[in-house]
């Protein structure tokens, strides 16, 4: 589980915008870039090349 303090300081590496936790708590979403950054073993993978594009 990601701590609320960590969520407050994390930002999208592409646009530096806000990221939000998914409902399943398995990733972080940047609405501006429409990217999903997965969380693996409680570690957010904040790499642009590893992010998944969200469908519209």
Q: What is the pTM of this model?
A: 0.90
In terms of C-beta density within 10 A (0-12 exposed, 13-18 middle, 19 or more buried), how is residue 47 classed? exposed
Q: What is the pLDDT of residue 50?
A: 97
Phi–psi pair at 21, nearest 5 degrees = -70, 140
DSSP letter, residue 15: T
User: In a 3-state reduction of DSSP, which class is residue 22?
Assistant: coil
Q: Is the pLDDT of residue 56 over 70?
A: no
Question: What is the per-residue pLDDT across 6-50, written as a single tens digit (0 to 9) for each?
Answer: 999 999 999 999 999 999 999 999 999 999 999 999 999 999 999
């Amino acid at each position: 589980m990601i701590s609320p303090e960590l969520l407050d300081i994390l930002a999208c590496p592409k646009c530096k915008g806000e990221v939000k936790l998914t409902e399943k708590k398995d990733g972080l979403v940047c609405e501006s870039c429409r990217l999903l950054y997965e969380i693996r073993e409680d570690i957010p993978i904040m790499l642009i090349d590893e992010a998944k594009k969200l469908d519209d």
